[in-house]
Chains A and B, each alone.
Chain A
C-alpha cells in the first residue's frame, strides 16, 4: 500500500533534549511538509521541501531543523531551542507542480515532561 508513515505515534522527551520525528513516503512525491497542530487549533507550517537536498522555512521554523537526503524521507528534529514543543506533528506530501491535495501521515504526539 502506498502512503505516508510517521513514527513513533507517541513520543516523550525531557526538557533540554533534542528529538527526531520520522516521516517516510512511498508515493513518489517530490514535496514534503511538516506541520504543527496545537489542541483545538489549525495546522501551522514548520518546514517544507520540494526537492532532495533543498528545504524552506515555513511560518514557525524557529527551534526546528530538517533534512532531505532522500526523496522518501523528511525527518524533523525538535531542538532544545523550541520553547514549547508539546504538540501534535503532522507530515504531508504532494507531487511538485500539482495544485491538488496533500496526503497526510497519522501524526506524532510529542509531550515534553
Chain B
C-alpha cells in the first residue's frame, strides 16, 4: 500500500521559478522524508522532517509538515534545469523499520 499521495503528479516550470509539491499520508508517522530520482537512477535523500517539527530548510529546499492535516510540502526555490527529476515523499511509521513511498511528482525545469 502507498501511504503517501503526491500532488501534482507533474509540474513544468521555467528556470528561476519556485516549485512546490505536496504529500498527504494516512497514518501516524515518526518522520517524513523527501527523495529525488533522476530518470533511470536510484533515489537520493534530500531532507527529513520529524513528526514534532513544523518546518525545515536545507539550501534551496524548504519542507513543512502539518501532522493535524497529515500533509507535507516541499518547496524548491530558484529552480535550475538540473532540478529536473522525480521527487518522492516517504513516511517512516512508529515502528521505525520501513519507509512507505508516495507516487512522486515529476518536475521539469525548462531553461
Question: Which A residues contact B (CB, under 8 angstroms)?
Answer: 4, 31, 33, 35, 40-45, 48, 50, 58-59, 88, 90, 92, 97, 99-107, 109
Contacts and interface: CB of A to CB of B under 8 A. Distances in A.
A45 B96 contact: no
Interface residues of B, number: 28
Given A41-B103, A42-B101, A99 B30 contact: yes
Given A41-B103, A42-B88, A100 B48 contact: yes
Contacts of A45: 98-100
Contacts, number: 60
A99 B95 CA distance: 10
Contacts of A106: 41-42
A88 B43 CA distance: 12
5 contacts: A42-B2, A90-B42, A101-B48, A107-B41, A109-B40
A99 B96 contact: yes
